[in-house]
Structure 1
Amino acid sequence: MSKRSLLAPVFLPQAYLVEVAWEVCNQVGGIYTVIRSKVPVMMEQWAGRYCLIGPYVHPNISAELEPLDDIEDIFGQAAASLRKRGYDVHYAEWLVTGKPRVVLLNPNSVDTDTLNVIKYLLWQNHGISTPGDNALINQVVSFGYLTKLFIDELMKLSGEDHKVITHFHEWMGGLPILDIKREGIPVKTIFTTHATQLGRHLAINSPQFYSHLPFFQWEDEARKFGVETEATMEFKIAQSCDYFTTVSDLTARECEYLLKREVDAILPNGLNIQRFETLYEFQNLHSEYKEQIHDFIMGHFFHSYSFDLDKTMYFFTSGRFEFKNKGFDLTLEALSYLNEQLKREGSDVTVVMFFVSKRDYYSIKPETLHSHAVMEEIRQTCDAILKQVGSRLFYESTSRNDHHLPNLNDFVDEYWKLRYRRTIQSWKTNNLPSLVTHNLVDEEHDEVMKTLQEKNLLNHKDDKVKVVYHPDFISSTNPLFGMDYLHFVRGCNLGVFPSYYEPWGYTPLEALASGIPAVTSDLSGFGDYLLNNFPDHEKNGIFVVERSKRTFDWSARQLAAYMYRFLKLSRRERVIQRNNAESYSAYFDWKNLILYYNSIYEKAVAR
């Protein structure tokens, strides 16, 4: 079948597709981005024969939904049937690009007695024991029960003319597969694991995770890390589904050893590149958003000392806080090497490295807010002086006979002179700029803070590498940045994501789509995909750090060397690289990568 026909809206016209994930309308991690970004192309192909199922657990989800009153279509009828049985079921359009239909099932609408029966049957029929006091597992079990009831209703309505394909993501969404298989329900089941339960724990705690993979005993390791229930569910689901898939060759190997089943297909993750496209030349956007970052930097650093913003480069890393898995440790090591090299050379370049990762905190540091507030007062004072001087200068220049520039100080009232001087004096300090913008709940044991101390990356005036640790999401409502995350990305110069464990890795891909070069690693699914399919990746703005067969120190020095080479590029070379990066990202548009999904859906229908 041609690529054109695969993307046509009549793809598999005699089939319904139901996609189930805990992160439908519920942003927890990367699967939310997979689901949401894939929606437009799914709607283009499937239209009214596609539906998403997720949990109704997000407290503010109603703002993202447009309830559907009509229940004429098959999904609405199935949802109505469950409501009649007393369950809390929401049928709506999700207000994202593509506006897919979603069924949100409230796991808390399953009463305690029913939940206990469900858990007993999980143990009796599938050998899965569940703790009594784990709120998340209780919600997952209830959600799986409601999803299975929905699929039962769907099968009653679908008739013999239409086949039903069900695509489940992760153990939190995949529990219905067990009873579908046990009862012999004629539904084709596809299960995608994005990262195994044990893999993430083992990668953090086992120094030789990848070389030791063939020797781990999954039951023993599950007990060791206290994830027996989750790992057992995942194992049983992987064994029971019709088609077992994952997102990269790296996780396929992980699945083979930890879940004891080879995957049937690799389903790489894409992006909706249209979301990143701009109506005018993206270089202008980079300059515009960089100016906003300049404002933050002035407020954060210039009360202590200043540096040339025209010779400042902004690097950033972001994502879930997993110090080792996300490569934060390697990044800090590389920054330490880079700082020493730039200081030795007496470089006039300054690097500001942002660590953006959600952590528990009490509040934004009062001194951080105070500095930004006083700087804003300085700005307003300067604007007032500028307005006063401009008005008086214009009058003076038109009324006097000589053509010499008058003394501008004479045009400023004493009030503004005093206010200017006092505001500047109240702002300046001898303290070092803070490493972290917020008061962390456990700052003493925070791994980023501890490593910054160990590496003496403390924002000294003579440091060429400065660090800003921002333990919260960046959004337009953020009082420090006042910009969306993707705007922040566009304003930076380089994204740094040298992960140790990363089943796929959206962050470098998002950077590319924003026209920002990025670093990934050969231990991320995205980096591995690049090495296998795009040998010219480096000239197009993406660098892959070697980690799989290298020591930590070797990889850190390689990363530091790449950062140094990046700093040596001319402005023209950086503009060309940004152009190449944005163009390169088009290869990862869902309209291209959806072909992998379509292949497995075709097999499911044919079988």
Structure 2
Amino acid sequence: MSRERMSRRFYRVDSQSDLSFMDRGRLASSENRWIFEAAWEVANKVGGIYTVIRSKAYISTEEMGEQYCLLGPYKEQSARTEVEEADFAETSPLHVAVNSMRQQGFKVHTGTWLVDGNPQVILFDIGSAAWKLDEYKQELWAKCSLGIPHLDVEANDAVILGYQMAHFIEEFRKAAEQNSECSPRIVAHFHEWQAGVALIVLRTRFVDVATVFTTHATLLGRYLCAGNTDFYNNLDKFNVDEEAGKRQIYHRYCMERAATHLAHVFTTVSEITGLEAEHLLKRKPDVITPNGLNVKKFLALHEFQNLHAISKEKIHEFVRGHFYGHYDFDLDKTLYFFIAGRYEFGNKGADIFIEALARLNHYLKMMHPDVTVVAFLIFPTKTNNFNVESLRGHAVTKSLRDTINHIQQQIGKRMYEVCLSGRLPNSSDLLQKEETVRLKRCIYSLQRDGLPPVTTHNIVDDWNDPVLDSVRRCQLFNTVHDRVKDLAVSCKITSQIL
């Protein structure tokens, strides 16, 4: 069957676009329509795709209800805090398929993901199927001529997970066909090459499901960019087989390329990634699906504005504490810049970002000395502990804030008593000597000898850290005269330190 016919069959345009989310969920159930979304990052925080899937889970669950389910690997450390385990209803074909897998000796965990929308998740224990790895590899070689080296643990895990997910979808289709009068219409959506193995298996076993494959950045492209090549100016000149072989990722590249060509619908997340896929994976994407912020859940604009104001005030408070003693700038004239992601110094553009900050710092000192930029560089890296000087700053600013709040309450009581007596209060009635002494102590504790630190944590082997090395080279040391203040945050989520 051609891709065009498959698209017409499985992707029906719903003319009743004014249906509510609940009605659409019921419609999907009555028509036996199901969507499975699979990725290594489901309930497993290891990369940016985790955020992509998590952010779209709310709207997907509202749209499809219990007909939408996420598939991924079982990682105990993450699942313990992110997943509430529970069994599916016995009448659901999901329950039948999971039980069938368990009876065959596979460990399968089911439940709901503790994120907005609470989507259903099915997590597969890779270790429980490791004994079938040789069998899976043999099938891949026989049907696709794909050979996986024994020592590539990540590729081996991807093969095991892919076969488990494909086996589950195959079992599910059988159960869904028996439990309904109409034939099930199933869409299986896979992200990146780690989950793409399942797509390869479904297609080579001729399982009747529609498949979608999304690449967020091609595997070979990541390696080429990390190798300081003039990547985009030479996209059409690379010998992809040779380049993948040089970097010892040829088998992974073949897995990604096979999933790309076997998918009924191939998508990327940007036009530039689509161009990259066209040259490196040799297929032009059918659809561009840009990553974006889901604002539909904020039905009223003021809700979104209130959340923005609360978050901004948290950042303000953090900046006050971190730059105490050198807090010489107006927050109303301060801009916040952020760069975040995996710690790939060149791939993620940290090198260009820091160079641009240095040039911006020189420009602002010359042209706009009253404007300040605070730049956050958020990357995960090995650390010993929190920076003591940074923690001290938050402690002394909190002490000052608590002292002022207490004095405000006392001043309010005294002002009330004085006004009741029929006269206006003077300064001696409001601020007592002991309170003045407390304020002076807090102000003295704010004095510091050194400069504000450029990191929130003590980084292991910081002299060889690429970000800190670049910061030293550009002399961005957070002095009083610098209009660009930089701060390297050594963790993924800023809320951990705010």
**SS of the residue aligned with 2:16?**
helix
Check whether the contact 2:414–2:429 (CA below 8 A) recurs between aligned residues: no
1:85 to 100, 104, 124: 104
- After TM superposition, the structure 1 stretch with the greater mean CA deviation from structure 2, 452-461 or 33-42, is 33-42
- Counterpart position of 1:434: 453
**Cα offset, 1:3, TM superposition:** 6.2
1:328/1:4 CA distance change after superposition, 3 Å: farther
- Counterpart position of 1:501: none
C-alpha distance in structure 2 between counterparts of 1:100 and 1:388, whole Å: 50
**Cα offset, 1:285, TM superposition:** 4.7
* Identical-pair percentage: 37
C-alpha distance in structure 2 between counterparts of 1:171 and 1:3, whole Å: 31
1:7/1:52 CA distance change after superposition, 3 Å: farther
- Counterpart position of 2:433: 412
Structural mapping, 1:361-380, within 5 Å? 361-380=383-402
Structural mapping, 1:232-381, within 5 Å? 232-276=254-298, 280=302, 282-283=304-305, 285-345=307-367, 347-381=369-403
- Counterpart position of 2:4: none
**SS of the residue aligned with 1:115?**
helix
- Counterpart position of 2:3: none
Indicate yes or no: 2:210 matched with 1:199.
no
C-alpha distance in structure 1 between counterparts of 2:161 and 2:352, whole Å: 39
1:378/1:242 CA distance change after superposition, 3 Å: closer
**SS of the residue aligned with 2:204?**
helix
Letter in structure 2 aligned against 1:441? V
**Cα offset, 1:355, TM superposition:** 1.9
1:248/1:69 CA distance change after superposition, 3 Å: closer
Indicate yes or no: 2:475 matched with 1:456.
yes
Indicate yes or no: 2:84 matched with 1:50.
no
TM-superposition CA deviations, 1:406-453 (whole Å, max 9, x none):
43697223xx55554444334311211111111112322222222222
1:97/1:300 CA distance change after superposition, 3 Å: closer
**Cα offset, 1:77, TM superposition:** 0.7
TM-superposition CA deviations, 1:204-258 (whole Å, max 9, x none):
3244201211121222222333323321211222233333332333222222221
**Cα offset, 1:383, TM superposition:** 3.5
**Cα offset, 1:328, TM superposition:** 2.5
C-alpha distance in structure 1 between counterparts of 2:52 and 2:341, whole Å: 15
C-alpha distance in structure 2 between counterparts of 1:62 and 1:425, whole Å: 46
**SS of the residue aligned with 1:109?**
helix
Indicate yes or no: 2:24 matched with 1:5.
no
Check whether the contact 1:88–1:106 (CA below 8 A) recurs between aligned residues: yes
C-alpha distance in structure 2 between counterparts of 1:271 and 1:404, whole Å: 53
- Counterpart position of 1:473: 492
**SS of the residue aligned with 2:89?**
coil
C-alpha distance in structure 1 between counterparts of 2:348 and 2:440, whole Å: 46
Indicate yes or no: 2:76 matched with 1:76.
no
C-alpha distance in structure 1 between counterparts of 2:58 and 2:15, whole Å: 16
C-alpha distance in structure 1 between counterparts of 2:395 and 2:291, whole Å: 42
C-alpha distance in structure 2 between counterparts of 1:31 and 1:7, whole Å: 30
Check whether the contact 1:364–1:438 (CA below 8 A) recurs between aligned residues: yes
- Counterpart position of 1:599: none
Check whether the contact 1:15–1:162 (CA below 8 A) recurs between aligned residues: yes
C-alpha distance in structure 1 between counterparts of 2:134 and 2:249, whole Å: 20
**Cα offset, 1:382, TM superposition:** 3.2
- Counterpart position of 1:38: 56
Check whether the contact 1:7–1:44 (CA below 8 A) recurs between aligned residues: no
Check whether the contact 1:168–1:192 (CA below 8 A) recurs between aligned residues: yes
Letter in structure 2 aligned against 1:315? F
Letter in structure 1 aligned against 2:426? L
Structural mapping, 1:94-133, within 5 Å? 94-111=113-130, 113-133=131-151
**SS of the residue aligned with 1:110?**
helix
Check whether the contact 1:177–1:241 (CA below 8 A) recurs between aligned residues: yes
Structural mapping, 1:445-594, within 5 Å? 445-474=464-493, 476=495, 478=496, 480-481=497-498
C-alpha distance in structure 1 between counterparts of 2:307 and 2:206, whole Å: 55
C-alpha distance in structure 1 between counterparts of 2:16 and 2:343, whole Å: 42
- After TM superposition, the structure 1 stretch with the greater mean CA deviation from structure 2, 4-13 or 260-269, is 4-13
- Counterpart position of 1:581: none
Check whether the contact 1:43–1:98 (CA below 8 A) recurs between aligned residues: yes
1:263/1:464 CA distance change after superposition, 3 Å: closer
1:340/1:5 CA distance change after superposition, 3 Å: same
C-alpha distance in structure 2 between counterparts of 1:250 and 1:216, whole Å: 16
Check whether the contact 1:68–1:93 (CA below 8 A) recurs between aligned residues: no
Indicate yes or no: 2:454 matched with 1:443.
no
C-alpha distance in structure 2 between counterparts of 1:195 and 1:7, whole Å: 35
Count residues in correspondence.
475
Check whether the contact 2:33–2:67 (CA below 8 A) recurs between aligned residues: yes
TM-superposition CA deviations, 1:286-340 (whole Å, max 9, x none):
4444333222222111224533333333333333333333333333222222221
1:209 to 219, 231, 244: 231
TM-superposition CA deviations, 1:58-110 (whole Å, max 9, x none):
52424432512523111211011111112111232334444433221111212
Letter in structure 2 aligned against 1:148? A
**TM-score under structure 2 length normalisation:** 0.85
- Counterpart position of 2:156: 138
**SS of the residue aligned with 1:351?**
strand
C-alpha distance in structure 2 between counterparts of 1:286 and 1:45, whole Å: 26
C-alpha distance in structure 2 between counterparts of 1:48 and 1:398, whole Å: 64
**SS of the residue aligned with 2:479?**
coil
C-alpha distance in structure 2 between counterparts of 1:392 and 1:297, whole Å: 33
TM-superposition CA deviations, 1:524-569 (whole Å, max 9, x none):
xxxxxxxxxxxxxxxxxxxxxxxxxxxxxxxxxxxxxxxxxxxxxx
**TM-score under structure 1 length normalisation:** 0.71
- After TM superposition, the structure 1 stretch with the greater mean CA deviation from structure 2, 230-239 or 45-54, is 45-54
- Counterpart position of 1:424: 443
C-alpha distance in structure 2 between counterparts of 1:345 and 1:242, whole Å: 55
**SS of the residue aligned with 1:190?**
strand
1:468/1:189 CA distance change after superposition, 3 Å: same
Check whether the contact 2:341–2:492 (CA below 8 A) recurs between aligned residues: no
C-alpha distance in structure 1 between counterparts of 2:97 and 2:410, whole Å: 69
**SS of the residue aligned with 1:175?**
helix
C-alpha distance in structure 1 between counterparts of 2:405 and 2:236, whole Å: 67
- Counterpart position of 1:223: 245
1:177/1:283 CA distance change after superposition, 3 Å: closer
**SS of the residue aligned with 2:100?**
helix
